[in-house]
């Protein structure tokens, strides 16, 4: 508990306020003849019904009557209500018979929930008891039928008020994770749909949820007292005084207390809603339905009854990457993670060995590329300590309130919001992987004293090393964190069209064109995640223009060149024929598949199609020719199971080359039958907002060859479809490099065009874009 006994704060203050209100009501009711057996009763609901009155709580009273003395109703009601109004106390009142109260409860679910708090104050005790028991029995009988309405109402309230755990100025009563949510859990528990706080059963022992509720109520009590008015939103100007009254430190300590309590409540509500839905779904004939099918989502991860659970063969203790696959599957499929699964992972999953494997890093990037759907699974991992195992630095920013009013979110939520907005920008940069990682850690240095950009840069280096980034990428991530405020600061203080400004920015980024592009995208995501109005068309034009000028100043975009063949691949090409070779890749499930065949039109799309049909996701590829043979190397990872069999792949490639199997027709049939769009190897809801695909034409270093660069969200068979579209457009692919960074493909094709004209380039670009995102 937060409060010391003997202080007129907290429960002592609430009890005193309730006692004073009840004493007056009882006395006034007696003066009006509202006594036991009179046929009138005064019942309290709301804060007085729960004995949780704070300084400026409304009085919520019901005058109950039994229809015998309707001639006295107006007299008794006026005698109760007018003195309260005259005293300046806000009153919410009604006059009801028991049947009338039941009718209201049936018609209005909010009223029904409020009546569950009804408590006898004065008058006819039997009449009040009849009302209370009737309302509760009605709720028990109808709660299952009304559950969807209850959940929809709660979600609508959350949309209006936001999430307490991450708001800079949270609404303690109505926000997600607030007091109303615990009261709602009590209502569901009363109908035996879930476990609640236990307020309706005072004999129950303390629990984390009860403690969270008590703490939020204590904060609300002091908020009313200090603000001197009815208020549910904690304002920054009152926070230090509230913290002092509760003896919890300063406003930052108070914010962490509120956020922690709200996290506990939000988690309980999510679990409670799922439990209630499951309880409702198994009544009547539905009890005899077949058990839900376990649908595979990833290696060791399946969907069961609308939740992400572990496969029966999953072994958390020997599979460090399982936590990431569970979280990634949750984000991709918009499914909650089963609570027991989270507990099992927390108990048994070992830390991911450092440096991370490329497979683990890829799973993290796919999770981060999920837009706003990344937030729920990360919050679930954080609530059970799993996120902090991967990112120990997160403890420094968890629940940390912002230091200026422009920020909407706590620092940890701001980082996730930035990641979410960065997900829509991944096709606008050459390194989408670094953009997502930079968004995740750009403010990781806050709350530690000093310049958070410099402190964060010091933390970013070890994080990058732990994630297994190459040295050059580590440097880029560190510089992103150190310089993430560079462009927003420049556009507000200097003339961005001045060549001196452009040269100065180029000097700050040490001539790195990739870095300045990343800083531009990070500035946009960071601004959008800060709060309403921080990012606008004016700021977008200034930062976008500055990035373009700096890149031009540094010599424009770098020109891609083909990777040379090593001696072993040259020998394979010179031997001719159709060959397939498989070798272990960098990660435990990565395989390098090299396919060699006589070069011909459409060969690359056929090879990519064979891999896609085999359930292999292409992470990177190089396409080259030598001695009349195409030599295409693909780094692949299986959707499920072990590494691919080179002999089987060779047989399938031979069948495709001979025309026995039409790989593109097979992929089209699979896509049509599969339903939802697939990202990498995973199903994705069609409603998800994805970054737009982009095609750029770049000047190549080789005469007569143009470079077509495609940036798009990766999905099953993307490379095969794009290559096939280039074939249909009459384009000859001389060489290509393919890279999948998390959920984003960045592919470059050196092509010989059938028609060297801008119109032809436009048609080819449109054709390529038309097959992206299927």
Q: How far apart are CA 440 and CA 427, in angstroms?
A: 17
Give pLDDT tens digits for 455-493.
Answer: 999 999 999 999 999 999 999 999 999 999 999 999 988
What's the CA gap between 355 and 357, in Å, rounded?
6
Domains and CATH numbers, the chain: 10-144 (3.30.460.10), 162-281 (1.20.120.330), 391-553 (1.10.3210), 567-770 (no CATH)
Counting Cα atoms < 13 Å in the Cβ hemisphere of 586 gives 15
DSSP string, 412-451: HHHHHHHHHHHHTTGGGSS-HHHHHHHHHHTTTTTTSSS-
What pLDDT does 275 receive? 84
Q: Encode pLDDT of 178-193 as tens digits.
A: 999 999 999 999 998 8
Give the DSSP letter of residue 72.
G
Coil, strand, or helix at residue 221?
helix
pLDDT tens-place string over residues 584-596:
887 777 899 999 9
At residue 291, the pLDDT reads: 54
| Length of the chain (residues) | 774
687 pLDDT higher than 80: no
- Residue 282's pLDDT is 53
- Distant-in-sequence, close-in-space partners of 671: CB < 8 Å, separation ≥ 6: 716, 717, 774
Closest CA to 728 of 718, 740, 736, 720: 720
Question: How many helices (H) and strands (E) would you count in the chain?
Answer: 29, 17
- Please give the average per-residue pLDDT across 703-716, as a whole number: 87
State the pLDDT confidence band at 641, using cuts at 50, 70 and 90: confident
- Give residue 559's pLDDT: 73
What confidence score (pLDDT) does residue 701 get? 66
CA 762 to the chain's CA centroid:
37
pLDDT recorded at residue 680: 37
Answer whether 131's CB lies under 8 Å from 118's CB.
yes
Phi-psi region of 187 (alpha: psi -120 to 50; beta: other; left: phi over 0): alpha
Q: Say what the pLDDT of residue 683 is.
A: 42
**Which percentage of the chain shows pLDDT scores above 90?**
54
Closest C-alpha to 679, from 329, 314, 372: 329
Cα 225 to Cα 196: distance, rounded to the nearest angstrom:
29
% pLDDT > 70, the chain: 93
- The Cα 332–Cα 298 span in angstroms is 11
Q: CB 461: neighbour CB atoms within 10 A?
A: 15
Q: At 177, is the secondary structure helix, strand, or coil?
A: coil
pTM: 0.79
- Cβ atoms of residues 456 and 478 within 8 Å: no
The three-class DSSP label of residue 691 is: coil
Q: Are 185 and 272 in contact (CB under 8 A)?
A: yes
pLDDT at 268: 87
Cα–Cα distance measured from residue 235 to residue 225, given in angstroms and rounded to the nearest whole number: 13
Instruction: Tell me what the pLDDT averaged over the chain comes to.
Output: 87
**Pick the residue with more confidence: 633 or 198?**
633
What gap in Å lies between CA 264 and CA 231, rounded to an integer? 23
Confidence of residue 274 (pLDDT cuts 50, 70, 90): confident
> How many Cβ atoms from other residues are within 10 Å of residue 134's Cβ?
16
Burial of 674 (0-12, 13-18, 19+ CB in 10 A): exposed
Residue 245: how many CA atoms within 13 Å on its side-chain side?
21
For the cut 80, the answer to whether the pLDDT of residue 59 exceeds it is yes
Closest CA to 517 of 422, 417, 620: 422
Does the pLDDT of residue 673 top 50, yes or no?
yes
> Measured between alpha carbons, how far is 418 from 444 in angstroms, rounded to an integer?
12
Residues 714 and 741: their CA atoms lie apart, in Å, by 9
pLDDT band with cut points at 50, 70 and 90 for residue 198: very low
- The separation between CA 496 and the C-alpha centre of its own chain, rounded to angstroms, equals 35
Residue 441's pLDDT is 97
Query: How do residues 364-393 score in pLDDT, each as one tens digit?
Result: 999 999 999 999 999 999 988 999 999 999
Q: By the 8 A CB rule, do 221 and 47 touch?
A: no
Cα–Cα nearest to 364, from 466, 471, 443, 458 = 466
> By the 8 A CB rule, do 400 and 251 touch?
no
Q: Given a cut of 60, is residue 674 above it in pLDDT? A: no
Terminal-to-terminal C-alpha distance of the chain: 55
The burial of 612, by beta-carbon neighbours within 10 Å (0-12 exposed, 13-18 middle, 19 or more buried), is given as: buried
SS3 label, residue 513: helix
743-772 average pLDDT score: 91
Q: Band of the pLDDT at 292, cuts 50, 70, 90? A: low
Say whether pLDDT at 501 is over 60. yes
Tens digits of residue pLDDT in 88-97 = 889 999 999 9
Task: Please tell me the predicted confidence (pLDDT) of residue 201.
Answer: 46
Three-state SS annotation for 311-345: CCCCCHHHCCCHHHHHHHHHHHHCCCECHHHHHHH
CB 29 within 8 A of CB 75: no
> How crowded is residue 56: how many other Cβ atoms within 10 Å of its Cβ?
16
**Cα–Cα distance, 59 to 87 (Å, whole number):** 12
Question: What's the DSSP call for residue 233?
Answer: B
CA 176 to chain centre: 15
Q: Is the pLDDT of residue 273 over 50?
A: yes
Instruction: Quick: pLDDT tens for 523-552.
Output: 999 999 998 889 999 999 999 999 999 999
The region of weakest confidence among 271-275, 627-631, 705-709 is: 271-275
| Residues 8, 62: Cα–Cα separation, whole Å | 29
Q: Is the confidence at residue 677, as pLDDT, over 50?
A: no
| H or E element, residue 119 | strand 119-123
- What confidence category does residue 288 fall into, taking pLDDT thresholds of 50, 70 and 90? very low
Query: At what angle are helices 10-31 and 73-86 packed, to 10 degrees?
Result: 140
Q: Look at residue 199 in the predicted model and tell me its pLDDT.
A: 46
Which tokens belong to 47?
């804060």
Number of alpha carbons in the 13 Å side-chain half-sphere of residue 656:
28
């Amino acid at each position: 508990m937060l409060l010391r006994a003997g202080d007129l704060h907290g429960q002592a203050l609430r009890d005193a306020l309730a006692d004073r209100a009840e004493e007056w009501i009882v006395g006034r009711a007696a003066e009006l003849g509202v006594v036991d057996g009179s046929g009138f009763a005064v019942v309290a609901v709301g804060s007085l019904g729960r004995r949780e009155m704070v300084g400026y709580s409304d009085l919520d009273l019901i005058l109950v009557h039994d229809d015998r003395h309707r001639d006295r109703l107006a007299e008794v009601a006026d005698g109760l209500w007018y003195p309260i109004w005259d005293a300046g106390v806000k009153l919410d009142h009604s006059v009801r018979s028991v049947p009338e109260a039941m009718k209201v409860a049936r018609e209005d679910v909010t009223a029904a929930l409020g009546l569950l708090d009804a408590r006898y104050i004065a008058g006819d005790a039997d009449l009040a008891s009849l009302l209370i028991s009737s309302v509760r029995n009605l709720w028990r009988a109808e709660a299952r039928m009304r559950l969807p309405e209850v959940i929809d109402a709660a979600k609508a309230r959350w949309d209006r008020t936001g999430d307490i755990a991450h708001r800079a100025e949270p609404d303690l009563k109505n926000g997600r994770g607030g007091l109303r949510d615990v009261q709602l859990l009590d209502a569901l528990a009363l109908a035996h749909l879930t476990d609640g706080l236990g307020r309706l059963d005072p004999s129950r022992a303390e629990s984390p949820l009860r403690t969270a509720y008590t703490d939020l109520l204590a904060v609300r009590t002091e908020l009313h007292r200090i603000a001197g008015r009815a208020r549910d939103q904690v304002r920054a100007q009152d926070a230090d005084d509230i913290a002092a009254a509760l003896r919890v430190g300063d406003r930052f300590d108070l914010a962490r207390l509120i956020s922690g309590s709200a996290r506990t409540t939000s988690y309980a509500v999510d679990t409670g809603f799922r439990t209630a839905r499951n309880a409702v779904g198994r009544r009547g004939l539905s009890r005899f339905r077949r058990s839900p099918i376990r649908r595979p989502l990833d290696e060791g991860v399946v969907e069961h009854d609308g939740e992400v659970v572990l496969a029966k063969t999953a072994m958390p203790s020997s599979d460090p990457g399982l936590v990431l696959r569970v979280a990634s599957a949750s984000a991709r499929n918009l499914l909650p993670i089963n609570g027991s699964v989270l507990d099992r992972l927390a108990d048994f999953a070992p830390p991911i060995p450092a440096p991370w494997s490329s497979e683990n890093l890829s799973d993290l990037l796919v999770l981060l590329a999920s837009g706003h759907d990344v937030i729920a699974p990360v919050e679930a991992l954080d609530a059970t300590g799993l996120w902090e195992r991967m990112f120990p630095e997160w403890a420094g920013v968890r629940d940390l309130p912002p230091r200026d009013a422009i920020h909407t979110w706590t620092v940890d939520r701001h980082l996730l919001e930035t990641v979410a907005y960065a997900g829509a920008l991944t096709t606008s940069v050459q390194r989408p992987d670094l953009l997502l990682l930079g968004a995740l850690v750009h403010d990781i240095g806050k709350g530690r004293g000093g310049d958070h950009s410099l402190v964060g840069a010091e933390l970013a280096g070890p994080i990058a090393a732990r994630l297994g980034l190459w040295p050059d990428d580590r440097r880029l991530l560190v510089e992103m964190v150190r310089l993430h405020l560079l462009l927003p600061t420049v556009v507000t203080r200097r003339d961005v069209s001045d060549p001196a400004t452009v040269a100065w920015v180029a000097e700050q980024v040490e001539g790195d064109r990739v870095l300045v592009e990343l800083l531009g995208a990070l500035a946009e995501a960071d601004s959008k995640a800060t709060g309403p109005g921080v990012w606008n068309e004016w700021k977008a034009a200034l930062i976008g223009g500055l990035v373009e000028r700096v890149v031009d100043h540094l010599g424009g975009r770098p020109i891609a060149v083909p990777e040379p063949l090593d001696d072993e691949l040259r020998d394979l090409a010179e031997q001719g024929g159709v060959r397939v070779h498989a070798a272990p890749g960098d990660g435990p499930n990565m395989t390098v598949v090299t396919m060699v065949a006589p070069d011909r039109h459409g060969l690359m799309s056929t090879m990519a199609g064979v891999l896609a049909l085999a359930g292999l996701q292409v992470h990177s590829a190089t396409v080259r020719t030598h001695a009349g043979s195409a030599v295409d190397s693909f780094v692949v990872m299986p959707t499920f199971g072990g590494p691919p069999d080179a002999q089987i792949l060779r047989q399938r490639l031979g069948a495709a080359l001979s025309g026995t199997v039409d790989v593109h027709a097979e992929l089209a049939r699979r896509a049509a039958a599969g339903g939802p769009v697939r990202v990498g190897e995973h199903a994705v809801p069609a409603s998800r907002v994805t970054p737009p695909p982009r095609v750029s034409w770049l000047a190549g270093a080789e005469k007569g060859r143009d470079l077509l660069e495609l940036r798009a969200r990766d999905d099953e068979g993307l490379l095969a479809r794009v290559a096939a579209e280039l074939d249909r457009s009459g384009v000859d692919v001389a060489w290509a490099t393919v890279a999948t960074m998390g959920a984003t493909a960045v592919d470059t094709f050196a092509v010989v065009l059938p028609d060297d004209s801008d119109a032809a380039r436009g048609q080819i670009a449109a054709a390529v874009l038309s097959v992206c995102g299927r």
